[in-house]
RNA sequence: GGAGACUUGUCCGAGUGGUUGAAGGAGCACGCCUGGAAAGUGUGUAUACGGGAAACUGUAUCAAGGGUUCGAAUCCCUUAGUCUCCGCCA
């Protein structure tokens, strides 16, 4: 959520930045400013009346204390009149505040100054590429065939148990998941991230905090009986750990990592993109999250996280590229996003495996995650997060890119974790 | 799932309708004391929003929401959470 004070003081800048994100309705900015003015006016009126009433009530209390019942009764009558107008005014105020809030949450985060203009994914900018695309044997096949050949994932039985898009990992396929999760977590904790294992279902307030509600409601599985949502990413429960908290400046930065399954309805998606492990309803992911002091440049932290994920891909010996997303392709809450894609050699296409973003204070404003600075002032933190990494597409690439006639050769870092150098 | 107890500031803990944003203590910060420290001692120590150049000031907040009342931390209702016992269960 953007800060209303900031909008009020930077109307033109806000509009200009929103246009980079191709935000359609710039008049919403004016609307929000008008609503804010209305709220403030009503608030001033209402509080003045309230102050009068509080003073009168105190007087009555004092009169009662002195035993002057008649005077107290008289005062009561007077106050009773005022009470009605206070009620009316506070109803108006509450309605105005709700309207303001409903409108302001529709405004997406402002993109960072360096975000390229653009509407479609084609306009994302390739920052750099790394790794080497392999030369595959003539007999090379996509991962969904390799999965069958080595009996790693049973999609059909997964569909029988739950539905399509719920893979059942099996044997070495299951073990590879475990090995990757373990490796990613070890790699992250070695870099100073604290490991968490959060609840996989969250309540409404939590889903709202990271911005999944209200606009991405359809993306999440909803347990209506209890009002819970299955998490679409560890970002949701983990960032909310600090919701409504004021932390000490000396505790910063807060670095957290978590492995969780992720659940996504992906309503309406189908076709060749969703074959095999390319897009599923349940998948495993390890996430990294940082809450940092906004006075230190949080974009340095973003670069740092990008380098962290990039090194991981180097260790996995996968060919990758890093994209800086254009305004139109960025998420609602993000100020700057880098996507990581790995090259799936048999499918001959790039697959997104990580998305690293700086949200500045957009999420923390919603969640009221703050710290006390040196002067004793409370300030919002900046939040950042990224995947390190999402497993299914990594697995797809590991399988495809490392296939030989009779085996799949795993990168060295996984040998100990997997207990073997090949499948 | 059933029965009961409870939920106050950073923490502990008073407080059953009236100058209570909230006693007291601990912690923390600053000062005094000290050669230095401990002890002692003094002062200060929530958040949000609004007004004001500032000093300061108004409103709200005692789990959350609603109600009764001129007035609620205190009374009533609803919800959530914690604990204890029973049931069930990995």
Q: What is the pLDDT of residue A130?
A: 93
Nucleotide minimizing C1' to CA distance for residue A54: B71
B40 C1' – A249 CA distance, angstroms? 32
Q: What is the pLDDT of residue A244?
A: 85
Mean pLDDT value of segment A253-275: 81
CATH number, span A121-418: 3.30.930.10
Note the CA–C1' distance, A138 to B62, in angstroms. Answer: 74
Residue A325 CA to residue A309 CA, distance in Å, equals: 17
**Domain chopping of chain A, boundaries:** 4-104, 121-418
- Residue A65 tokens, joined: 């204390």
The answer to whether the beta carbons of residues A302 and A355 sit under 8 Å apart is no
Phi-psi region of A371 (alpha: psi -120 to 50; beta: other; left: phi over 0): beta
Statement: the CB of A43 is under 7 Å from strand B: yes
pLDDT confidence tier of residue A270, bands split at 50, 70 and 90 = low
Q: Which nucleotide is nearest to A60 (CA to C1')?
A: B70
Query: For the segment A67-107, what is each residue's pLDDT rounded down to a tens digit?
Result: 777 888 888 887 877 778 888 888 888 888 888 888 888 89
Task: Cite the DSSP H helix spans in A320-390.
Answer: 362-367
- Nucleic strand B near CB of residue A126 (< 7 Å): no
Quote the ipTM score.
0.83
Comparing A13-22, A164-173, A205-214, which segment has the lowest mean pLDDT?
A205-214
Confidence check: pLDDT of A119 > 70: yes
Q: Is the CB of A47 under 7 A from strand B?
A: yes
pLDDT at A272 over 60: no
State what percent of residues in chain A have pLDDT above 90.
53
A58 touches strand B (CB under 7 A): yes
| Closest nucleotide to A79 by C1' from CA | B70
User: Is the domain defined by A4-104 classed in CATH 1.10.3720.10?
Assistant: no
**Range A136-143 average pLDDT:** 90
Helix (H) or strand (E) holding A176: helix A172-190
The mean pLDDT value of chain A amounts to 89
Does residue A65 approach strand B to less than 7 Å at its CB? Answer: yes
Is A5 near strand B, with its CB below 7 A from some atom of it? yes
Task: Give strand B nucleotides closer than 7 A to any protein Cβ.
Answer: 18-19, 47-51, 58-60, 70-71
Whether the pLDDT of residue A275 is over 80: the answer is yes
| pLDDT over 60 (residue A268) | no
Q: Between the CA of A25 and the C1' of B73, what is the distance in angstroms?
A: 46
Q: Look at residue A113 in the predicted model and tell me its pLDDT.
A: 94
The stretch A40-45 carries a mean pLDDT of 88
Instruction: Determine the Cα–Cα distance for residues A391 and A25; give it in Å rounded to an integer.
Output: 37
Dig out the tokens for A109 from the structure. 């985060």
In the prediction, which pLDDT does A1 show?
Answer: 87
For residues A143 and A154, give the distance between their C-alpha atoms in angstroms, rounded to a whole number: 13
Q: Is the CB of A98 under 7 A from strand B?
A: no
CB atoms within 10 A of CB A2: 22
The yes-or-no verdict on residue A267 having pLDDT over 70 is no
d(CA A376, C1' B29) / Å: 11
Give pLDDT tens digits for A295-330: 889 999 999 999 999 999 999 999 999 999 999 999
**C1’ B14 / CA A60, Å:** 27
């Amino acid at each position: 959520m953007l800060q209303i004070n900031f909008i009020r003081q930077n109307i033109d800048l806000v509009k200009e930045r929103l246009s980079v994100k191709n935000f359609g309705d710039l008049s919403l900015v004016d609307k929000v400013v008008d609503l804010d003015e209305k709220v403030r006016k009503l608030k001033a009126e209402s509080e003045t009346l309230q102050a009068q009433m509080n003073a009168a009530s105190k007087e009555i209390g004092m009169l009662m204390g002195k035993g002057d019942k008649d005077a107290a009764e008289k005062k009561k009558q007077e106050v009773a009149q005022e009470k009605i107008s206070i009620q009316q005014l506070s109803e108006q105020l509450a309605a105005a505040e709700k309207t303001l809030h409903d409108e302001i949450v529709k405004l997406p985060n402002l993109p960072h100054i360096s975000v390229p203009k653009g509407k479609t994914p084609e306009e994302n900018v390739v920052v750099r590429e790394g790794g080497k695309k392999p030369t595959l044997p003539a007999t090379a096949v996509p991962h969904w065939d390799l999965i069958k050949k080595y009996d790693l994932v049973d999609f059909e039985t997964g569909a029988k148990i739950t539905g399509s898009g719920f893979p059942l990992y099996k044997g070495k396929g299951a073990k590879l998941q475990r090995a990757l999760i373990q490796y990613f977590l070890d790699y992250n904790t070695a870099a100073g991230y604290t490991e968490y294992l959060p609840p996989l279902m969250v309540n409404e307030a939590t889903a709202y905090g990271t911005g999944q509600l209200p606009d991405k409601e359809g993306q999440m599985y909803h347990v209506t009986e209890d009002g819970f949502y299955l998490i679409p990413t560890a970002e949701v429960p983990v960032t909310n750990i600090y919701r409504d908290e004021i932390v000490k400046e000396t505790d910063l930065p807060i670095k957290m990592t978590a492995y969780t399954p992720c659940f996504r309805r992906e309503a309406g998606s189908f076709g060749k993109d969703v074959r095999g492990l390319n897009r599923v309803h349940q998948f495993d992911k390890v996430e990294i999250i940082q809450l940092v002091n906004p006075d230190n440049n949080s974009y340095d932290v973003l670069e740092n996280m990008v380098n962290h994920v990039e090194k991981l891909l180097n260790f996995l010996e996968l060919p990758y590229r890093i994209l800086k997303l254009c305004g139109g392709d960025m998420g609602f809450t993000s100020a700057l996003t880098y996507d990581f894609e790995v090259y799936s050699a048999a499918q001959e296409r790039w697959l997104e495996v990580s998305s690293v973003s700086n949200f500045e204070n957009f999420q923390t404003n919603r969640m009221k995650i703050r710290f006390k600075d040196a002067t004793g002032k409370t300030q919002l933190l900046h939040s950042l997060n990224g995947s390190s990494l999402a497993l299914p597409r990594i697995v797809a690439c590991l399988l495809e890119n490392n296939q030989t006639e009779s085996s799949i050769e795993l990168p060295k870092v996984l040998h100990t974790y997997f207990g073997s150098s090949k499948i």
